Amino acid sequence: MGCVVYCSSGTRLTMFYNSFYRFHKLQVNGFQVNSLGSAYFRIAGDGYHISHNLSEKSEEREIKVSLEASPHLTNKNGIKLDDSSTPVRDIHIKYPLKNTLHSNSNDKNSSDKGHNTEEEKVSASMPLYKDHIPTNYCQKSILSLGAAAAAILDPRRHDMVAVLGETTGYRALSRIYSEMIQDEEGQQIILDKPRINSSTVDLTYLSKLPEGTLGHYYVKFLDDNKVTPDSRLPVQFVDDPELAYVMQRYREGHDLFHTIFGMPTNMLGEVAVKWIEAIQTGLPMCYGAAVFGPLRFRPKQRQKYLQVYLPWALRVGKSAKLVMNIYFEKRWEQPMCELRDELCIEPPPEL
């Protein structure tokens, strides 16, 4: 199915969608825009319309919206746009759902339902982004149980921890995404979708930054713990391109979280960071690691954990600002003490 919007400037936008209202592609004047991985349709709260916020940078072009355009175009506050020049971003494309929701018509026969079912089957098996593996509820449940068992038996199975985070994190990721788009810096991260790896971050440059800066601290953390930003697995089981990026950002930012919180990668440090992440993100995987991780502590570790690390982590998790909203790539030169003060992060306990 498709919907065509003609704008008075001559721009022709074509949206292609299926019965799940997931976005397939968008064409501008007949040329497909391939960078719209975040774009897909959502059913609006009234149950009768679908709305979508065009927020990709590639869509930020000035157009004149035609009053005769169908479907109606509204801005993010629901106000119908006139013929004045309007940026495409922050525009909602909104159009009626026909024969889908709250329909009282009696001409819906079984063949229509059968056709819709086939469409749903096709859409459910269609990848939404690179590395995506579409799964249904039953498959996700099986993956969750298997990954949880494997991760508990061997916490070093980072691949199983990753799977568990993806198959159980939809609600938490939705909440994180909502908080990010309401924050100016977080919204910019969502728009730019930066990645953290050795090909996107100049580690040599960061190593030459003055001591005490975020960049210098980060490189020192990587060197001291013999870790690399290239070790993070790609997201596969999140059935939403935007939320998949949020999970990828969380995953790639984990070492930076350690850096900011001043925690090493030993068991005490990992569990402390997981408590902060759990409180801030609500990801079930983080809560699981925070609760079950201490079971492997030795007596002296457990005592130190209960007396020092756990109280500190709980305080920081509740008082600190959401670290997912920090655009690290634009803060490499910022002094760490200044960043911690800005985020209301209590100094880490003596290691």
Residue 164: burial class (beta carbons within 10 Å; 0-12, 13-18, 19+): buried
Q: What is the distance of C-alpha 10 from the center of its chain?
A: 34
- The rounded distance, in Å, linking the Cα atoms of 27 and 34 is 9
Q: Is 258 annotated as a binding residue?
A: yes
Backbone angles phi, psi at 290, to 5 degrees: -70, -35
Q: Is 132 annotated as a binding residue?
A: no
* Six token digits for residue 175: 């909440």
Per the DSSP assignment, residues forming a β-bridge with 74 are: 80, 92
- The rounded distance, in Å, linking the Cα atoms of 189 and 85 is 26
Q: Interior CA angle at 226 toward 225 and 232, to 5°? A: 100
- Inter-residue contact 39 to 54 (CB < 8 Å): yes
How far from each other are the two terminal CA atoms of the chain, in whole angstroms? 59
Residues in Cβ contact with 213 at an 8 Å cutoff, skipping those fewer than 6 apart: 332, 333, 334, 335, 336
Closest CA to 294 of 279, 312, 275: 275
- Inter-residue contact 233 to 163 (CB < 8 Å): no
- The rounded distance, in Å, linking the Cα atoms of 73 and 269 is 50
Q: Is 115 annotated as a binding residue?
A: no
- Side chain identity at residue 213, one-letter code: T
Residues in Cβ contact with 145 at an 8 Å cutoff, skipping those fewer than 6 apart: none
Contacts 24+ apart (CB under 8 A), 162-166: 162/233, 162/251, 163/236, 163/237, 164/284, 164/285, 164/288, 165/247, 165/251, 165/283, 165/284, 165/285, 165/286, 166/235, 166/236, 166/237, 166/238, 166/247
Q: Annotated binding site for Zn(2+), which residues?
A: 254-255, 258, 270
Q: Annotated binding site, which residues?
A: 254-255, 258, 270
